[in-house]
Structure 1
Amino acid sequence: MRFTTIKTIFVSLILLILTFDIQAQTKNPILPGFYPDPSICRVGDDYYIVNSSFSFFPGIPIFHSKDLSNWKQIGHVLDRPSQLNLTDEWMSAGLYAPSLRYHEGTFYLINTLMGAKEGKQGGNFYVTAKNAAGPWSDPIWLDEIDGIDPSFFFDNDGKAYIVNNGPVADGKPRYSGHRSVWLQEFNLKTQKPIGKRVELLNGGIDPSTNPIWIEGPHLFNKDGFYYLLCAEGGTGIEHREVILRSKNIWGPYEVGKDNPILTQFGLPENRKNPVTCTGHADFVDTPDGDWVSVFLGCQPYEGEHFNTGRQTFILPVEWKKGKWPMILEKGKSVPFDVSLPLKPAEGKVSFQDYSSDWKDDFDSLKLNFEWNFIRTPKEKWYNIDNGKLTIDARPISIDEVGNPSFIGRRLQHKKAEFITNVTLIQSQGKYEGRPMEAGIVAYQNEEFYYKLVLERKENGYYLILSSATQEFDKIQLNDYKPGQSIFLKMQIIEKDFQTYYSLDETNWKPLGSKLDARHLSTKSAGGYIGAYFGLYAHAKSSQKAVFNWAKYKELK
């Protein structure tokens, strides 16, 4: 009897060890920084994630993983100006909530463009590719599908559908944010919707509470049911994820009794390392039948202030008695250490580690995937050669709505620094000695930013720290020689922002006093994006600036 008990305990321990090994740990967020509205799909044992990019170009970053833990960016879906015309748009306009699916050898990415499209305001479209890394097709516009957040669903019988957020059926919303979820069959050959468009869900799971913004819908099937996964409550702290199901794709849909299946609303505000605003989820299954969910979340450093934007998190999905999915039970905090069904591959550098200590020596002929432009560039105004990035200082300023000479990468941590060196090129001929400025910008939008630039004027060289509305400090560099590099640094420590400069990269001097980093948060600036660090140049006449490298580092 005693032997049997010991044997049972021993076997249980072995199973526990094996389970722990399989349920390996990864870290949240898997995509730190401004990577909102994630959508995920699987092809064999390959997994792909895409994210919203709003008015940054190229549009819609795409990531690949074999193990759900280690993600690597493989490109952008919309990387040609002909695919994405972002002109004079609000920074939080542009590309909203992409959905990525795979069907019979083809990737389908469907999306909403908020803003002007051939004279029209906004529109839904999709693009296709045989390889997720591209090239992707030019947009196929869906003028018959109004609303936002479309998602393809490919049923087991081969039929295709589009589910999305749209106006309520009678066109008379009862309150601000009153919307519906709609479904329509889609003909892939004619590239047109067919049949009747059906309203699946009006308002949300409990219409008596006037739920706002039922959005981000996704359909999937499991065990004879169609499951409808949606976000509601807006994108703020009341953001939540809800689930419904039906035996018939057209409904009616039964509301899950344990909704919401993901939210952080109502948790103590003073909890340690809070994650807020969770929602806009998507599901994917593994070949072994396990399920995981990716979703967006925010990491505030004070109140509702966060500069890193909405980030991508991951959690396993638990099926309650095999019938209803649960991402995270109500009242529980989003964990940073996560057990996933796949073991992380050995020797891989996770995107978190890659992002926390990053440098670009400009040793490639193309810009690295991390770099973005503000809106679509209409011409090429930069060049990479011999380890140098040369930027044409064009007349569009960082505080104008347009495409300034700015090349930026995301702020990905609460505490971080960005360093570069810059040289102003002496123009020849009639432009020689003309005024110009170049340096680095911490950017949220054209009204909320901090700018640290070396400025050339007729009477000398100056270092200037300013925002869109205020000049904080200005010093003349009497020891600076024309053609000399100057090193510039920006640091963000949660709510504190500080700049530094050096002529030798060793002896750093602060410029000005600490400023308020909350200036770079969406709570202050509005909108839906995260802050960027960027390289910048500006002049009224033809001028150039050279950057030899750029470094980003998480500060502990």
Structure 2
Amino acid sequence: MHSFFAWIISFGMICNIATAQILLKNPVLPGFYPDPSICKAGEDYYLVNSTFSYFPGIPVFHSKDLKNWKQIGNVIERSSQMDFMGERITRGLFAPSISFHNGTYYVACTDIDNGGNFIVTAKNPAGPWSNPVYLKEVRGIDPSLFFDGGKAYIVYNSEAPARKPLYEGHRTVRVYELDMLNLKVRGEETILVNGGADISKKPVWIEGPHLYKRKNFYYLMAAEGGTGVNHSEVIFRSKDIRGPFMPYDKNPILTQRHLDPKRKDPITSVGHADLIEGPDGSTFAVFLGARPYDGDFYNTGRETFIAPVAWLDDWPVINYGNEEVQYSYKAGWKEFPNKDINPLSGNFSTTYHFESYLDPQFLFLRTRDTSWYSFEKENGGLTIKLLPETVMGLGNPAFIGRRQQHLTSSGSVEMEFATKMENEKSGLIILQSEEHFYYLCKSFKQGKDVVQLFKSTPKSKEMELISERELGKKDAKIYLKIAASKDSYSFWYSLKRNKWTLLKEGLDARFLSTKTAGGFVGSLFGMYVTSSAKPSGNSAVYKWFSYSGSDETYQVLGSKR
């Protein structure tokens, strides 16, 4: 039976390639954009991602072609909605899902340490979004909404039956009916999946569930195996929303865990998928994945990928016909490029000039406090006050960063900063967590201006001085650059633009990898100033921030890898 369907799909792919008008390149959202969820409203697509303890939380992206995305807002953009003070970077908001129904947009998500599962709503996906409505009865993570015949449901990952797990990682998928008028659960919850596709094999971490309806079946799709290299996606179906849900006998419908880890340019850890209808009526899936530069080491975090879906005997199979997730897929619809001057994907270089606003790609830690930064109206630039808080703490330090989106990339700044205090520092950081970062900065030591490079010390709120050089010229202006080359970082400074001096090269990038540092986030290049636990009235002015990234895989055009 499958050979017949394979012939039909292959024939369809040949015809599709002949008329294809667009090339979807992976990842469609490179860098730290994990846990994608997508919805369609008319001809428009909207996508959201996890942001954990970064602020604003949950970016909202818009596209008309599933290739070109533009950030149009954030779901959590006001501190009055919530903040993440006191939480580690890798906590905060887990796995949002976005839905559209009867003119209203819904996002369901989990604030993992404060409040649990909640729903916010908006009439315009660009915002403003409502304050969160918490659902205390929904115990677990990864909530997702489903609308069917005038009823609404919330499906989510939860604990083992009777809170008695049979093994580590034993979880369930459960559902409640939802009163959409009051955003409250209705009736009793039902366990839809216990353990996973085959509980006899002790499947772990069944999570990220979504419900769909197609023809006469309800489909339940979820991830298994954890979000690392054993990640996968599995599918179940039922004639009734309350089950029983039967697993597909050829699960998983997406994984890369069985492939040679030494293969060229691997895409790993794929899962946490969501299905969507493309502009031509075909089905596609968005999902997270990672691009390691060596083994399981990557600094760009978990990223958003896309792949076509084939329906075999009324079962969806992601990336059918390919063993490996591809770096590009051809699709048969028109491209709609956006005109955003700051691109989100592909190879690019962009410079942010701080005149009156911050690009939405910039992030703060835990909340946004506008009292410590402002824009220079006359000469241009971003003035940032030195705060006693540091990135090693759990507060709101004077840090403003953007994602490292490429394995080969750089961040650079032009900065004006003068000090005669050794505790005051201003510069450029590459940050993965409170305990894993490199910090390139200008400071003052023994009566002289110096440029310094620090490395964080895990399990300690101290920094190790790696390199230092005296700045002979007395000038407030300095240029700083951090360059990533897959498994290493190099650090540069200059007193004249484009006249770079190498301070240190070849520092181990694995120190900032997810495998070493842990957690669920990727690395960020950031502007960061601090007075190191001491009050200060000093400030630094950043004239511009530049990011450049180039990965060879973006040059691949639909080849089998």
What residue identity is the alignment partner of 1:338?
Y
> Is the contact made by 1:417 and 1:555 (CA closer than 8 Å) also made in structure 2?
no
Residue 336, structure 1, aligned to residue 331, structure 2: no
After superposition, what is the alpha-carbon deviation per residue over 1:161-186, rounded to whole angstroms, capped at 9, x for unaligned?
Answer: 00000012221001111000001100
Partner of 2:467: 473
After superposition, what is the alpha-carbon deviation per residue over 1:88-134, rounded to whole angstroms, capped at 9, x for unaligned?
Answer: 1111100000000001110000000111x3xxxx4100100000000
Q: CA deviation at 1:555?
A: 4.0
Whole-angstrom CA distance in 2 between matches of 1:423 and 1:441: 16
What residue identity is the alignment partner of 2:428?
I
Partner of 1:109: 107
> Is the contact made by 1:68 and 1:342 (CA closer than 8 Å) also made in structure 2?
no
- 5 Å matches for 1:24-423? 24-115=22-113, 117=114, 122-155=115-148, 157-286=149-278, 288-321=280-313, 323-329=314-320, 332-345=323-336, 351-353=343-345, 356-363=348-355, 365-378=356-369, 380-386=371-377, 387-423=380-416
> Is the contact made by 1:260 and 1:330 (CA closer than 8 Å) also made in structure 2?
no
Structure 1 residues 500 and 220: CA distance shift in structure 2, 3 A: same
Whole-angstrom CA distance in 2 between matches of 1:341 and 1:101: 25
Larger Rg: 1
Partner of 1:450: 438
Structure 1 residues 91 and 30: CA distance shift in structure 2, 3 A: same
Partner of 1:429: none
Larger displacement relative to structure 2 (394-403 or 66-75):
394-403
What residue identity is the alignment partner of 1:360?
Y
Whole-angstrom CA distance in 2 between matches of 1:504 and 1:184: 62
Structure 1 residues 475 and 159: CA distance shift in structure 2, 3 A: same
Secondary structure at 2:112 match in 1: strand
Structure 1 residues 341 and 125: CA distance shift in structure 2, 3 A: farther
What residue identity is the alignment partner of 1:418?
G
> Is the contact made by 1:261 and 1:330 (CA closer than 8 Å) also made in structure 2?
no
After superposition, what is the alpha-carbon deviation per residue over 1:143-194, rounded to whole angstroms, capped at 9, x for unaligned?
Answer: 1111000000011x11000000001222100111100000110001222101
Secondary structure at 2:191 match in 1: strand
> Is the contact made by 2:17 and 2:330 (CA closer than 8 Å) also made in structure 1?
no
What residue identity is the alignment partner of 2:544?
W
Paired residues, what number? 529
Q: CA deviation at 1:269?
A: 1.5
Whole-angstrom CA distance in 1 between matches of 2:169 and 2:455: 34
Whole-angstrom CA distance in 2 between matches of 1:247 and 1:23: 37
What residue identity is the alignment partner of 2:471?
L
Secondary structure at 2:417 match in 1: strand
What runs of 5+ residues in structure 2 fail to find an aligned partner? 1-10, 458-463, 552-561
Partner of 1:10: none
Larger displacement relative to structure 2 (21-30 or 106-115):
21-30
> Is the contact made by 2:398 and 2:530 (CA closer than 8 Å) also made in structure 1?
yes
> Is the contact made by 2:270 and 2:287 (CA closer than 8 Å) also made in structure 1?
yes
After superposition, what is the alpha-carbon deviation per residue over 1:259-315, rounded to whole angstroms, capped at 9, x for unaligned?
Answer: 111000110112111000000000111464311110000000011100000000001
Q: CA deviation at 1:474?
A: 1.3
What residue identity is the alignment partner of 1:24?
I
What is the root-mean-square deviation of aligned Cα atoms in Å?
2.0
What residue identity is the alignment partner of 1:497?
Y
> Is the contact made by 1:390 and 1:545 (CA closer than 8 Å) also made in structure 2?
yes
> Is the contact made by 1:436 and 1:457 (CA closer than 8 Å) also made in structure 2?
no
Larger displacement relative to structure 2 (525-534 or 459-468):
459-468
Partner of 2:7: none
Whole-angstrom CA distance in 1 between matches of 2:43 and 2:166: 46
Provide the identity percentage: 44
Residue 440, structure 1, aligned to residue 428, structure 2: yes
What residue identity is the alignment partner of 2:140?
G
What residue identity is the alignment partner of 2:547?
Y
After superposition, what is the alpha-carbon deviation per residue over 1:58-109, rounded to whole angstroms, capped at 9, x for unaligned?
Answer: 0001100011111111111111011122011111100000000001110000
Structure 1 residues 347 and 218: CA distance shift in structure 2, 3 A: closer
Whole-angstrom CA distance in 1 between matches of 2:316 and 2:412: 45
After superposition, what is the alpha-carbon deviation per residue over 1:228-274, rounded to whole angstroms, capped at 9, x for unaligned?
Answer: 01001001111000001001000001111221110001101121110
The TM-score, its normalising length taken from structure 2, stands at 0.91
The TM-score, its normalising length taken from structure 1, stands at 0.91
